[in-house]
Amino acid sequence: MKTISNKSKIVFLSTFPPTQCGIATYTQDSIKGITDVFGKSITCEICELVNEPKPKPTQAFTLNTKDKAEYAKVAEQINNDKSVKLVHIQHEFGLFGGNYGDYLLDFLNVIKKPLTYTFHSVIQNPNNELKTFVKLLLSYSNSVFVMTNQSKEILMRDYDIDEKIITCVPHGTHIVIYETPDQAKQKFGIQDRKVLSTFGLLGEGKNIETGLQALPKIIEKEPNVLYLIIGKTHPNLIKDGVDAYRDKLEGIVEDLNLKDNVRFINQYLDTNELLDYLKATDVYLFTSKDPNQAVSGTFSYAMSCACPMVASKIPHTLEVLTSDCGILVDIGNVDQFAEETIKLLADDNLREEMGINAFTKMRASSWENVAIKHMNTYKTLMENPGEIKFTYPSIQLRHIKKLTTDLGIIQFSKISIPDLSSGYTLDDNARALIAFCMHFKLTKDKEDLPYILIYLDFIERCQKPKGNFINYVDQENREHIEQNAEVNLEDSNARALWALGTVVSIGDLLPEAISKKASKVLLNSLKWAETIQSPRSIGFATKGLYLYNTAVPNLYVAAIINKLNAKLLSNYEIHASSDWKWFENYMTYGNGILPESMLFAYLVTNKPIYKKVALDSLDFLMSKMFVNKNFKVISNNGWLHKGEEPKEYGEQPIDVAYTIHTLNSFYDAFGTPEYKHKMKTAFNWFLGKNHLNQIMYNPVSGGGYDGLEKENVNLNQGAESTVCYLTARLLMENLKSSDTKVIPLMKSRKDGIAINS
């Protein structure tokens, strides 16, 4: 296991908690995002900006910004650390000493490391002195980050900065598990109230008085409204123990008789509690009065928690807040704030729609996605950074357990809320059974056993007297002729065999009753299994029968494997040519199961033709999915037809997961290092190595996102995508353990496993 000294270091010049300021929190969250995504190969250190000597430094470096002599001295200290590959300066003019913070030049004149900035303030129409100073700062670097497109335009227009050195990365946000305000309010006992909120370090710029002055008119229409004012006063504004701004706000509450409708939460809340308050909000009031405020973290956080918004017009809100997410009003206009808030409070459907739109829009700016965007620029600046590797997230079961009832796993999810009306399918319960068997084999966690039994019982419940299965059952456990006739029943039936074989294959780890039940259901299906015709169904069934046969050798089962794959081989011989080594004239979904089926047939029968076709078809499939060292999923926008160019976008997690399954089987069989490398490359698709540079899972719950489109991620987390992400993650954990011979697992919470890479 590598030590930290072998990692590339990035040093951040910034304030840092426990200092209470927006930039300190921003830097802390940025570093956590980078560490969560890239901590395997990158470590972040702080050069803490303080305004008085710190007797016991808590960070790697400390810079007293009022002491001009310290700037060069600290730069030399950073220069002396050979593992530091980049310095990232969080820049705000007031953070550094001197005119416009020009003490920083003493640091810049000495530092020899590549560096970049994040400009937290970008001032329009600068005077000549300011313009010259900003250009001078950027002469020391060929990189600067800003958080809005308008800031980028100002730098180009007003400061003559080259567009090529500017990277626009939105203010980061925290990923939360979506829930409705009514659900979230229960944590705080305010479910009977319509909740307005605002948060942040309080000060005149927040202009909270506008919200308070609008409240009487709002109360006339909504008497039970509760306005939460969340956050402490900015520490710089408290003089000699006197909090003048809060006193002023409390005076307004008293004068307007608002005590029953206003609650001050005078605390610096931890992140999770703050996010819970935002999720409990019916309408967020963003009342800032600074017309030049380039960016607001509080505004971003509120949108990311699905808060419908009434917001004053500042550059950030004008750029980001579209009419489908909230309403813009003039700065300080009490009547507009009141009228628009009343409009939203009166329309439950509009608020829900706006909240979901805001939530969806802000997922691209999660701290994980922000980290990926930062790293893409860092790599162009760092000298010999070494290989930047993704860190695998913890294995989380929260969402898959949330989707599961006593009957089985629910088919669909509206974002992260299970849609019970969508019912249950054999397909999804078979996939879930495979996933929990894999997890149990890895962890021996007895909490998995009830779930294994639920999914197994569902499969048994779907079996018909002739051994085949129905696919769909509604929320009342009723069968529907229409739904069970519309889908490809052969595929879902064959997946059931894959799941049953998986259970039997780990029978020595499971209670005997579970493995016996799986074996009985599988054996009952064999007569039907012989009749399977479609290629993918043959593949799914073969995988299950192979797993069964490895645990319980059975000549009849082996004969069925041979019979099915003779059909698949015939398909190959009909359709394959020198430039199209495939089983059909097109590639659709789950393609990897076809060469995998040939592999299992070879391992059972030892027939060389099966081995040859397995390897040839796998190589052909990989040539379509791994192009110029990049992984590309076969698009579901028309699929890939022989003689045609691949389609773009429409990428689904199921194909990524099946590719990893297939490569894993071939790696187990032949030990070819290329297969292992391709597994890692494919799994990186989930981690953000895709055309949108966005993660494809919810790191809090383990939910898998339903698809990757041209311009957005489908944030619904249904059973198929969640299970596919989970099984892929488990395969990668097994791969890692086979590399290290040790599985360093540590339970971090009831439904999560933290992985120590």
Work out the mean pLDDT of the chain and round it to a whole number: 93
**Quick one: pLDDT at residue 484?**
67
Task: Show Cβ contacts of residue 536 under 8 Å, excluding neighbours closer than 6 positions.
Answer: 491, 494, 589, 590, 593, 594
Question: Which residue bears the tokens 């705080």?
Answer: 188
Write the pLDDT tens digit of every residue in 343-355: 999 999 999 999 9
> What distance in Å separates the CA atoms of residue 276 and residue 637, rounded to the nearest whole number?
38
**Quick one: pLDDT at residue 204?**
85
CA contacts within 13 A on the Cβ side of 680 = 12
The residues with which 333 forms a beta bridge, in sequence order, are none
Closest to 172 (Cα-Cα) out of 317, 25, 306, 319: 25
The residue-averaged pLDDT of 80-92 equals 96
> What distance in Å separates the CA atoms of residue 200 and residue 249, rounded to the nearest whole number?
15
Phi/psi at 638 (nearest 5 deg)? 100, -5
**Quick one: pLDDT band at residue 756, thresholds 50, 70, 90?**
very low
The residue-averaged pLDDT of 582-591 equals 94
**Quick one: pLDDT band at residue 515, thresholds 50, 70, 90?**
very high
Residue 277 reports pLDDT greater than 80: yes
**Quick one: pLDDT at residue 486?**
56
Range from 2-16, 37-51, 147-161, 283-297 carrying the lowest mean pLDDT: 2-16
The residue-averaged pLDDT of 382-386 equals 80
**Quick one: pLDDT at residue 666?**
98
Write the pLDDT tens digit of every residue in 529-540: 999 999 999 999
Write the pLDDT tens digit of every residue in 168-212: 999 999 999 999 999 999 999 999 999 999 998 888 889 999 999
Residue 645 reports pLDDT greater than 90: no
Helix (H) or strand (E) holding 613, with range, is helix 608-625
Contact between 91 and 118 under an 8 Å Cβ cutoff? The reply is yes
> What distance in Å separates the CA atoms of residue 440 and residue 510, rounded to the nearest whole number?
9
**Quick one: pLDDT band at residue 750, thresholds 50, 70, 90?**
very low
Range from 96-105, 238-247, 507-516, 518-527 carrying the lowest mean pLDDT: 238-247
> What distance in Å separates the CA atoms of residue 698 and residue 726, rounded to the nearest whole number?
11
Residue 235 reports pLDDT greater than 80: no
> What distance in Å separates the CA atoms of residue 739 and residue 732, rounded to the nearest whole number?
11
Structure tokens at 123: 């001032």
Residue 488 reports pLDDT greater than 60: no
> What distance in Å separates the CA atoms of residue 510 and residue 571, rounded to the nearest whole number?
38
Write the pLDDT tens digit of every residue in 434-477: 999 999 999 999 999 999 999 999 999 999 999 999 999 999 99
CA contacts within 13 A on the Cβ side of 174 = 23
> What distance in Å separates the CA atoms of residue 307 and residue 277, rounded to the nearest whole number?
10
Question: Which residue bears the tokens 């990158």?
Answer: 42
> What distance in Å separates the CA atoms of residue 755 and residue 753, rounded to the nearest whole number?
6
**Quick one: pLDDT at residue 739?**
64
The residue-averaged pLDDT of 701-730 equals 97
**Quick one: pLDDT at residue 278?**
97
CA contacts within 13 A on the Cβ side of 501 = 24
**Residue with the larger pLDDT of the pair 349 and 485:** 349
**Quick one: pLDDT at residue 118?**
97
Write the pLDDT tens digit of every residue in 14-35: 999 998 888 999 999 999 999 9
**Quick one: pLDDT at residue 534?**
95
**Quick one: pLDDT at residue 294?**
82
**Percentage of residues in the chain with pLDDT exceeding 90?**
85
Write the pLDDT tens digit of every residue in 670-682: 999 999 999 999 9
Task: Show Cβ contacts of residue 663 under 8 Å, excluding neighbours closer than 6 positions.
Answer: 592, 675, 676, 678, 679, 682
**Residue with the larger pLDDT of the pair 327 and 237:** 327
**Quick one: pLDDT band at residue 485, thresholds 50, 70, 90?**
low
Beta strands at 586-587 and 640-641: parallel, antiparallel or unpaired: antiparallel
